[in-house]
A and B are shown apart, each in its own frame.
Chain A
Amino acid sequence: MSEIPFTPEEGLVRLALTAVLMVVVLTLAYIRRLGIGKEVVVSAIRGFVQLMLFAVILTYIFDSPDWWLLVWGVFAAMIIMAGYTSAKRAPEINKAWEITTPSIVIGAAVSLIVMASTRIMPLEPQFVIPLAGMAFGNSMNVCSLTLNRLIGEFKNNRQRIEAALALGATSTYASRTYLNTSVTAALIPLVDHMKNLGIIFIPGAMTGLLMAGADPLLAAEFQIVVFFMIMCTTILTTMLVTHMAVKRLFTDAHQLVEI
């Protein structure tokens, strides 16, 4: 099996070439007045800097005998960023990070603990960190989508929710339809992604393993494990975040709060 056929230095040259391609495409976008230039440039630069920094940190961790201690620092940074990013999608909820952070952490932790304790995930930094990143990242995405949709549903259906409460429904019962809609909507991208595995998409983990020269069958097995983990994590996260959000959207007396 082949290794990645270039050194990190050669890789930088290739990166520069793709950057040139981006500049060409962005110039076209500017000419067409698409208005996406600034955001794309900022995110490209941010992505570049963040990933490069992360790569440097990873190199240090992989070489360190105390990698297990350092991993906790990485996890903490991931969790804080994920909770904060997701909370920004729900400005209507006061201190939303108080519900996004635990939803993301618990959702991801359950899957990671099961994978670690059963040795499905080898306890080595090159497995633990990327898999945790996938778990936290997907958990964050789904958390943001769920909250965003849930608040939209509550705003659009405020009168129906109050009509249900006026019939004696509890806050959980009155919001059931909107919770389900939000959870389903948040999971659609992932479910569609999973349905089309190997047909339209060759997902990230498998791509990485194939490029690193792994056996396709092994790469596929690993990818499926990753997807199952992501599904479990995200479903758990949506359940947790909706449960906690409802507590914030209603009072104890089953009154809908202003959002």
Chain B
Amino acid sequence: MSFIRFKDLGKRYGDRWALKRATGDVKKGEIVAIVGPSGSGKSTVLRCINRLAEADRGAVKVEGVNVKEIEPPILRRRIGMVFQFPAVFPGTVKENLLYGMDIWEIPDEGVTSVALEEVGLHLGFLERDAEKLSGGEQQRVCLARSLVIGSEALLLDEPTASLDNKAASKVERTILDLKENRELAILWVTHSTAQARRVADRVLYLKDGRVRSFAPAEEFDWERWVGDEAAECCTTHGHGGGRHE
């Protein structure tokens, strides 16, 4: 059974429909990569799912329940989100992890240590200034912030796009491990065809705000939908330049 299912999702900004009609789903323990050209509505899908933006049409259901029937904070606790640029809060790594735990009154009792190790950071990081970490480390702190509050799904909005190749590979590996170990349902927006081919169980291709293809990764017609980009996978990771690990 799908953990998240969205149907005919549409979102308008002013007169322009950023997302026209998008239908798809993701199961627990699965990664669905959302690919497509810039401006095709990839990020908008994620933002409508956890209601950081309000869809103008269509519906999103989490385990069969319409998200409009769930209090947004509760919905967002269940479905974590990681953005393209790591948004750490001022303070130590531990304070970052405790932010969400304080909201949900979760006692620490080793939760922070476990989460930190799960994202590949050793315990020495707990007392470090989060803003002084490298981009890749910050992104892993952001992942851990969702883990400590018990998120069952993750919405990843190009989480490696602002990182250099080495940092991106580490973050990518971390997410793949989390999918296996925590049985998370993951919707992963990426502009990198190569990355989508490496991580996705299923691929959803968006163009001009519409879903053009949604298929298991092995059946997805890479040549047809992403054309020249498909060749990129064999030569490069395809990440943008950026912060160094």
The segment out of A39-47, A55-63, A83-91, A156-164 that lies at the interface is: A156-164
- Closest residue of chain A to B146 (Cβ to Cβ) is A167
Instruction: Given A159-B85, A162-B83, answer yes or no on A167-B77 (Cβ-Cβ < 8 Å).
Output: yes
Q: Is A162 touching B87 in the complex (CB atoms < 8 A)?
A: yes
**Residue from the set A167, A170, A256 with the largest chain B CB neighbour count within 10 Å:** A167
Majority DSSP secondary structure for residues of B touching A: mixed
Interface string of A22-63 (1 = CB under 8 A from B): 000000000000000000000000000000000000000000
- Closest residue of chain B to A162 (Cβ to Cβ) is B52
- Closest residue of chain A to B145 (Cβ to Cβ) is A167
State A160–B149 Cα separation when bound (angstroms). Answer: 17
Q: Is A168 touching B74 in the complex (CB atoms < 8 A)?
A: yes
Partner of B73, one of A159, A163, A169, A251: A169
State A148–B80 Cα separation when bound (angstroms). Answer: 32
Partner of A168, one of B85, B100, B142: B100
The answer, yes or no, to whether B56 is at the interface (CB within 8 Å) is: no
- Closest residue of chain A to B102 (Cβ to Cβ) is A173
Question: Which B residues lie within 8 Å of A166 (CB)?
Answer: 50, 52, 76, 80-81
Q: What distance in Å separates the Cβ of B192 from its nearest Cβ neighbour in chain A?
A: 21
Q: Is B51 touching A168 in the complex (CB atoms < 8 A)?
A: no
State A256–B72 Cα separation when bound (angstroms). Answer: 12
Question: Which A residues lie within 8 Å of B108 (CB)?
Answer: none
Q: Is B76 touching A168 in the complex (CB atoms < 8 A)?
A: yes
Q: Is A167 touching B83 in the complex (CB atoms < 8 A)?
A: no
Question: Which A residues lie within 8 Å of B54 (CB)?
Answer: 251, 253, 255
Interface size on A, residues (CB 8 A): 17
Q: Is B103 touching A169 in the complex (CB atoms < 8 A)?
A: yes
Within 8 A of A (CB), among B102-160: 103-104, 142, 145-146, 149
The answer, yes or no, to whether A254 is at the interface (CB within 8 Å) is: yes
State A168–B145 Cα separation when bound (angstroms). Answer: 11
State A179–B52 Cα separation when bound (angstroms). Answer: 20
- Closest residue of chain B to A253 (Cβ to Cβ) is B72
Partner of A255, one of B52, B103, B142: B52
Q: What distance in Å separates the Cβ of A246 from its nearest Cβ neighbour in chain B?
A: 15
- Closest residue of chain B to A167 (Cβ to Cβ) is B100
State A255–B81 Cα separation when bound (angstroms). Answer: 14
The answer, yes or no, to whether B220 is at the interface (CB within 8 Å) is: no
* Given A163-B89, A166-B81, A255-B72, 19 other A-B residues pairs in contact with their CB atoms under 8 A: A159-B85, A159-B87, A162-B83, A163-B142, A164-B99, A165-B52, A166-B80, A167-B77, A167-B99, A167-B103, A167-B146, A168-B74, A168-B149, A253-B54, A254-B73, A255-B51, A255-B52, A255-B53, A255-B54
Return the 7 tightest CB-CB contacts between A and B, nearest first: A163-B87, A168-B77, A167-B100, A166-B81, A168-B73, A159-B87, A168-B76
Q: List 26 A-B contacts (CB under 8 A).
A: A160-B87, A162-B52, A162-B83, A163-B81, A163-B83, A163-B87, A164-B99, A165-B72, A165-B76, A166-B50, A166-B80, A167-B99, A167-B146, A167-B149, A168-B74, A168-B77, A168-B149, A169-B99, A173-B103, A251-B54, A253-B54, A254-B73, A255-B51, A255-B53, A255-B54, A256-B52
